[in-house]
Amino acid sequence: MTDQKKVTIEDVAKRAGVGIATVSRAINDSEGISPKTKALILRVIEEMGFTPNTSAQSLKVRQTRQIALAVPDIRNAIIPEIAWSVEQAAKQHGYRVVQINTAGNARMELETVREVKKLHVDGLIIMPLAYPKMLVDLINKSSVPVSIINYGKKLGENVKADIVSLARQEGRLVMEHLLKIGRTRIAYAGAAKDKIEERYFAYEQSLQHVDPSLVYFGDDFSFETGLRAADYFYSLKHMPDAIYAVNDMVAIGIVNRFKDLGVKVPDEVAVVGIDNNLWATVTTPQISSVSIMGEEVARLAAELLLKRIQEQTPGDYERVQFEPRLIVRESSVSVIRKPTVGHDGVEA
């Protein structure tokens, strides 16, 4: 008599139309599986006569039930929205989230991917800022699946990760708006040029000529950078009539400092940021901003990662893009402006 082929966990997963990890959860009575799916899997197990090999199964299927989220700066007001969205998606699948702050540092971004196995997680969601040259190579060799929340960098098809990004350059929306409302002396305020470089490139590409005196590169993306940027622009002989801020926190710092200096926003200087975080709506004036769809982007990045973990399937990486939206508020409404006057009393 010929021995029948032994039924494997892969066979059960295929018959039930689910991933291996889902079968494992049904066998181990774990969280993160619906009663209907669990009942289906147990019925298939009985029909096929599958006998779980618990020792082999534990080696094949990770059981940490954790994913890591690496973000560039936990002080940035958009990050809590992203972290909350990832956490909610993870909870629905019975996972916890380990959060890492890379500080937008190239070394930390590389170290996070290189040492991800030591974190005892089943997957990694990373929101790069520095984008060091070796990052893609490390992601492609990662011991766990990776999902990328991508703002400010064009990534090729060679990246072995699911990528969620924006369909249009958010900085272009800012510049198009400021030019449309008639601003001609537009300044840029942000962190170092190599941080979210696409946002600065949008500024350069929208102007025929960039006046270096209207560009302020601070240390980071914080409220304090905005304060220092406002002081710098105020010190110029001829102030700008509009400022494109790299994010909302910098924009908020600028608007607040201008209040102290007696500069009227938007009458004298229009200000627009990026992120559309809550704080942009509680300032006076409320700040115009481009929504980068933070919660939606983060949730999808988490869902794609969790699906890949559960199904344990390499290849066919997703590339999903969201459409950014400009929300016009009081800081950049179109107004009839008086000529800009320098500190020496001369009209610009």
What CATH number should be reported for the domain holding residue 211?
Answer: 3.40.50.2300
Structural domain containing residue 37? 9-60
Q: How many domains does the chain have?
A: 3
Which domain-ending residue is among 24, 43, 60? Answer: 60
Q: How far apart are CA 147 and CA 163, in angstroms?
A: 6
pLDDT at position 335 is 57
Does residue 343 contact residue 281 with C-beta atoms inside 8 Å? Answer: no
Residue 216 lies in a domain: yes
**Rounded Cα–Cα distance for residues 185 and 233 (Å):** 12
pLDDT on residue 13: 87
Asked whether the beta carbons of 286 and 256 are under 8 A apart, the reply is no
Residues 121 and 135 placed together within one structural domain of the fold: yes
| Residues 207 and 271 reside in one and the same domain | yes
Q: Do 306 and 159 belong to one domain?
A: yes
Among candidates 96, 273, 128, which has minimal Cα distance to 194? 128
Evaluate whether residue 339 is within a structural domain.
no
- pTM of the shown model: 0.75
Do 84 and 42 lie in one domain? The reply is: no
Same domain as 256, residue 177: yes
Question: By CB neighbour count within 10 A (0-12 exposed, 13-18 middle, 19+ buried), where does 209 fall?
Answer: exposed
288 with 299, same domain?
no
Along the 348 residues of the chain, how does pLDDT read in single tens digits?
344 567 888 888 899 998 887 888 788 777 678 889 988 989 998 888 887 665 444 444 546 889 999 999 888 889 999 999 999 999 998 999 999 999 888 999 999 999 998 889 999 999 998 888 899 999 999 989 999 999 877 888 899 999 999 988 899 999 999 999 999 999 999 988 777 788 999 999 999 899 999 999 998 889 999 999 999 999 999 999 999 999 999 999 999 999 999 999 999 999 999 999 989 999 999 999 999 999 999 999 999 999 999 887 777 899 999 999 999 999 998 654 455 545 444 444
pLDDT, residue 1, reads 39
In this structure, the answer to whether residues 182 and 71 fall within a common structural domain is no
Check if the beta carbon of residue 122 is closer than 8 Å to that of residue 116: no
Residue 337 belongs to some domain of the structure: no
Same-domain check for residues 206 and 288: yes
Q: Is residue 263 part of a domain?
A: yes
Both 141 and 174 in one domain: the answer is: no
Are the C-beta atoms of residues 50 and 20 closer than 8 Å to each other? no
For residues 117 and 219, state if they share a domain.
Answer: no
Both 187 and 52 in one domain: the answer is: no
Check if the beta carbon of residue 197 is closer than 8 Å to that of residue 153: yes
User: For residue 345, is it within any domain?
Assistant: no
Together in a domain, 196 and 278: yes
Residue 343 in any domain: the answer is: no
Q: Domain containing 22 — which CATH number?
A: 1.10.260.40
What does the pLDDT read at residue 347? Answer: 45
- Domain assignment present for residue 266? The answer is yes
For 196, the token pair is 């979210």
pLDDT score for 2: 40
Q: Does residue 341 fall inside a structural domain?
A: no
